[in-house]
Chains A and B, each alone.
Chain A
Amino acid sequence: MSRRILAALAGQPNCGKSTVFNMLTGARQHVANFPGVTVEKKSGHFKLGGRTCELVDLPGAYSISSYSPEERVTRDFLLFDHPRVVVNVIDASNLRRHLCLTVELLELESNVVVHCNMMDVATRRGQVLDADILSQRLGVPVSTGIGRTGQGREQLAAVMTTAMDQPAKEEAFRVDYGPLEPHIKAVEDVLAEGGDLGAPRRWLAVRLLENDEGARQFVAEVFFDPVRLSRLVAEHQEAFRESAGETVAAFAALARRRLARSLAQAATVKSAGPEKTRTDAIDDLVCHKYLGPLVLIGVLFILYQVSIVWGYKLTNYTWPLLAGLKTFVAGFLPPAGMLEDPMLRSLGLWFMDSVNSLLNYIPIFFLLFFCVAFLEDTGYMPRMAFILDRLFRSYGLHGQSTLPMVLAGVYLGGCCVPGVMACKAIPDDKSRLATILIIPLMNCLAKVPLYILLVGAFFPGDASAAMFFISTVTLFMALPIARLLSSTLLSSLDSAPFIMEMPPYHLPTLRNLFTRAIEKVALFVQKIITVVAAVAIIIFVLLQFPGISREHKAAYQARLDASRSQLDAAVAGSRFQAVLAGDGLLGFLRYEEAYKAARAGVEDAAAAKAIDTRFREENPDYFAILKPRADAVAKAALAGVKAFAQSRDSISIEMRRERLETSFLGILGRALEPVTQFAGFNWRVNAGLLSAFAAKESAVATMGAIYKLEAGGTDNQSLEASMRQGEADFTPLHALALMLFMALYPPCMATSMMIKVQTGQAKWMVLAILYPMVLGIIVASAVFTGGRLLGLDGNTAMWSFYGLAVAATIVAGLIPHRTPVTLPVTAVAGEEAAQNA
């Protein structure tokens, strides 16, 4: 038998399923999504009794109803993929709750084996459990172990091997539903007319009576007369409600939970004492009224420091590697031309630059994901949500929105991609989307260069105050916007109740943390890089085409030819005439560049000598020009070449400028001027902002390129200076409007893609791109035109705006929410009391 055996791991959240998964499969695993949903599907394989077993890690689910995507995914997998064995991982220290899922799995008539994990925790708490009794009562094999240390792996593997070849049991596990039984029987009898439906009949009958959406859809597809069936089910539901006084759903769930409770009681030899657990002690500090928030700030600060600050430092070491990669690729591209590079070369280099600018973030991401995995595995996340939920709820967000916002850069410097990825943890659709949509407004690292440029150029006196302004004002813009979005566009989405387990604290294993961090980085690379590469090409086209007209090109060429003939005249008759003739000149220029590159950074005299020797051997004639020493003829040749190179550079800069001005991007920038003039943006700024869409760093690069050109191409002038010079009529008010627009800038390509991945729908991505643009232009225009009309200077406008944003935040927080109508129990109790009186 060489066919693969399919097995699944099922369990409630925090039972240590991922740890058991890693324990069984080792490092060989594959992460994807379940079809159609954003729930992660992890699978791996390992050898089991001489055969290959493919193990799928199902998402953590409390039960098998149809209320959450995790539950639906679990149910569908068990129903449709028919795993040979289902390993139900349970937390040995909390049998009562975890056995609820076991009962449901058994009702589904899966081939279950139960694995009691966290035995060490149970022992520490003084609990003793009897696996044999549990096994007897459940009628399935039970193994025990400690996932953290890998103890119990053999036992589990052995149990799985035996279970695999066991024939299906004749007598399936039954929950005794007491007064509901006759109704179940009636529905079962009708279902029996449909023959084999592909799901256990009794399970279907119970679920139908419970009004379970998934079961209803299932029979609608496989049963020949769903109409009659649903009428019958409705009748029985009604009959039961009348006789029992409660709904089938409530009754059946309670029956299962009671059974789980009695099973747990039977299997528990000794239960935990009432003494305080370690978790209680930690919580006393971490959730404390005053200390809790302080701890939270501390944790967030460390997270920021480690991942963003240290990660950024780490990029200093990885950047040379990426630069090396680019050089390596450049080696395969056609060589540089005299005036213009061949298209393939400029495209290749552009492409590498774009991809590198993203790959550059990998160290940051790795550290970030590592820290986040640490916080998740220890169990701190729910505490964070606990502390901040009240505050965030006022804005339609969720306690769990904290982490994504911190990652994306609540203060200065973050990255929206991991921010959006972290939104996954938010259990509530509405607040998750609200969070995802405001994430791009945070201050990601890539926005910072533009801030620094503008602050340096236009607010030199109070740079730190201006920096403080822009780094904090974004939060005061994001919160009211979140409030607005959640009460308008998002108001129709489901908002899930906030009921959250606060799992016991665990010390995570390094191995888990590494696997998780690597998994996420890999996901990033897979999903993002391809798209970014595609967009890089589009932007390239926008920047390069339609290109310079043929006449203009000819004119540039003529100018170049003129300086060439000067050079020719200078070397005429000398021994270098032949050397520099034809392609010889271009050859020399490349040679010179290669030499400079080789000598760059080499300080050791012997090494320098070696390079010189190598270059001399390669081409003695070129070398003679390059290092003329006392040779007057060579000196003249070098001077001639230098003069030529200078005029070539200025011609090519002019060409680049013309190409940019006449490019689609330049045309677009001009076309937008009528709108953007109210915000004080001219076409150059527009072009810079447009190119920022691929990656925000490009804004500064593009503008830098434009200003340098306008300033006459002197390289040694600082960008601040050339910007001030290039935009002589720019005032701090212009800069303020531009900074605010940047703060509200649409998400970059990578983030947009991540938004699509996380929301599963392109429309949210489009919204996330469009609304900041509209909002940005409105805010920037209001500040610029408003400030102008009121005669405000940059500083006054800045702090007035700050005041407004803070006020908007306070007001938005105070407006009460329209909460969904749920009757509080007290009212019902009151009615009952009134009836009784």
Chain B
Amino acid sequence: MDEDATKDRTHLGAIAPGERCTVARVGCDGCLGQRLGDLGLVPGEEVMVVRNAPLRDPIEIKVSGFLVSLRRCEASLVEVVAR
């Protein structure tokens, strides 16, 4: 892993609305991991953060053309590479 890639690595919760990123890893197993995968958060997939909820949490994202909402604490488990 080179320096740049490491620097760009962050988690989904840290991406600002309107920005895009690519899923690098889903850092959890079990039910949560399954659900995230079910809704399209699979490594290599491009994600766009659409907006925050009026109270800033949860967030709404767009994965492969479809909208998904998740809480920030769950979003923080998804490792992404920012664009």
Contact = CB atoms under 8 A, between A and B. Distances in A.
Contacts of B43: 254
Contacts of A387: 53-55
A825 B71 contact: no
B6 to A, nearest CB: 5
A390 B70 contact: no
Contacts of A293: 54
A253 B31 CA distance: 12
Nearest to B80: A825
Contact of B67 (A96, A385, A393, A501): A501
Contacts of B73: 819, 822
A389 interface: yes
A556 to B, nearest CB: 67
Contacts of B38: 62-63, 97, 100
B32 interface: yes
Contacts of B57: 389-390
A500 B68 contact: yes
Main DSSP-derived SS at the B contact region: mixed
Contacts of B52: 289
A380 B74 CA distance: 22
User: Which residue among B32, B35, B71, B73 has the maximum number of chain A CB atoms within 10 Å of its CB?
Assistant: B35
Nearest to A823: B27
Contacts of B64: 94, 96-97
A822 B53 contact: no
Given A825-B11, A825-B25, A825-B27, A497 B56 contact: no
Contacts of A587: none
Contacts of A832: 1, 6
A251 to B, nearest CB: 11
A431 to B, nearest CB: 12
Main DSSP-derived SS at the A contact region: helix
Given A67-B35, A391-B55, A497-B31, A826 B71 contact: no
Nearest to B70: A499
Contact of A825 (B40, B60, B79): B79
Contacts of A823: 27
Interface residues of A, number: 58
Nearest to A391: B55
B76 A825 contact: yes
A829 interface: yes
A496 B55 CA distance: 21
B35 to A, nearest CB: 5
B9 to A, nearest CB: 5
Contacts of A288: 54
Contacts of A125: 65
Contact of A386 (B11, B35, B69, B74): B69
B9 A829 contact: yes
B66 A824 contact: no
A799 interface: no
Contact of B34 (A253, A287, A825): A253
A65 interface: yes
B47 interface: no
Given A253-B37, A387-B54, A499-B36, A824 B77 contact: yes
Contacts of A572: none
Contacts of A250: 26, 29, 33
Interface in B15-29: 25-29
A555 interface: no
A391 B39 CA distance: 24
A727 interface: no
Contact of A389 (B28, B30, B51, B71): B71
Given A829-B9, A836-B1, A822 B58 contact: no
B78 interface: yes
Contact of A283 (B29, B34, B36, B67): B67
A712 to B, nearest CB: 59
A382 B76 contact: no
B71 A502 contact: no
A292 interface: yes
A502 B54 contact: no
B37 A257 contact: yes
Contacts of B26: 250
Contact of B35 (A62, A93, A100): A62
Nearest to A284: B51
A521 interface: no
B79 A257 contact: no
A224 interface: no
B78 to A, nearest CB: 7
Contact of B32 (A62, A504, A822, A836): A822
A497 B70 contact: yes
A721 interface: no
B74 A292 contact: no
Contacts of B67: 279-280, 283, 501-504
Interface string A223-253: 0000000000000000000000001011001
A97 B48 CA distance: 17
Interface in A784-804: none
A290 B28 CA distance: 34
A293 B33 CA distance: 31
Contacts of B35: 62, 67, 496-497, 499
Contact of A63 (B30, B34, B55): B34
Contacts of A62: 35, 38-39
A771 interface: no
B74 A499 contact: yes
Given A97-B39, A254-B43, A287 B53 contact: yes
Nearest to B42: A257
A833 interface: yes
Contact of A272 (B1, B31, B65): B65
A610 to B, nearest CB: 67
7 contacts: A97-B66, A497-B70, A497-B71, A502-B68, A502-B69, A826-B76, A828-B79
Q: Which 10 A-B pairs have the closest CB atoms?
A: A62-B38, A390-B55, A502-B67, A825-B27, A825-B79, A824-B76, A499-B70, A67-B31, A498-B71, A390-B57
Given A67-B31, A497-B35, 6 more contacts: A94-B65, A250-B33, A287-B54, A293-B54, A497-B31, A822-B77
Interface of A: 62-63, 65, 67, 93-94, 96-97, 100, 125, 247, 249-250, 253-254, 257-258, 261, 272, 277, 279-280, 283, 287-290, 292-293, 382, 385-387, 389-391, 393, 399, 496-504, 819, 822-826, 828-829, 832-833, 836
